[in-house]
Amino acid sequence: MAKTTTTTKAKTKTTKKKPTVKAAAKTTKSSATKAKRTTAKAAVKSTKTVKSAKSNAAKKVVRKTSNSKFAFLRRGQVLLGGLFAALAVAAGFFMTNDSAQVFVGHLAKDELASRAGTVLAPAAHVLYEVEFRWLVVALLVVSAVIAILRGTRYKVIEDAGIKYRVQPLRWIDFAITGALAFEIAALLNGLQDAVALKASMVSIGLAALFAWVYERENAATGKPARVSYIASVIAVLVPVFALLATMVATNVYGVVRSPWYAYAAAAVVSISLLWTVRKQLTASASNYFFTDRSYNRVSVLTKVTLAVILIAGLYSK
pLDDT digits (tens, 9 = 90+) for 187-240: 999 999 999 999 999 999 999 999 999 999 888 888 888 899 999 999 999 999
Q: How far is Cα 79 from Cα 29, in angstroms, rounded to an integer?
A: 73
Q: What is the pLDDT of residues 6-47, one digit of tens each?
A: 444 444 444 444 444 444 444 444 555 555 555 555 544 555
Instruction: Give the pLDDT of residue 122.
Output: 85
pLDDT-derived band at 252 (thresholds 50, 70, 90) equals very high
Q: Which of 237, 176, 181, 198 is nearest to 102 (CA)?
A: 198
Coil, strand, or helix at residue 102?
A: strand
Tell me phi and psi for residue 66, to 5 degrees: -70, -35
What is the CB neighbour count within 10 angstroms for residue 75?
Answer: 17
* Residue 146, pLDDT above cutoff 80: yes
User: Is 0.95 surpassed by the pTM of this model?
Assistant: no
What is the CB neighbour count within 10 angstroms for residue 262?
Answer: 22
Q: What is the pLDDT of residues 53-91, one digit of tens each?
A: 445 544 444 444 334 554 544 578 889 999 999 999 999
Instruction: Give the pLDDT of residue 117.
Output: 77
Instruction: Give the pLDDT of residue 71.
Output: 53
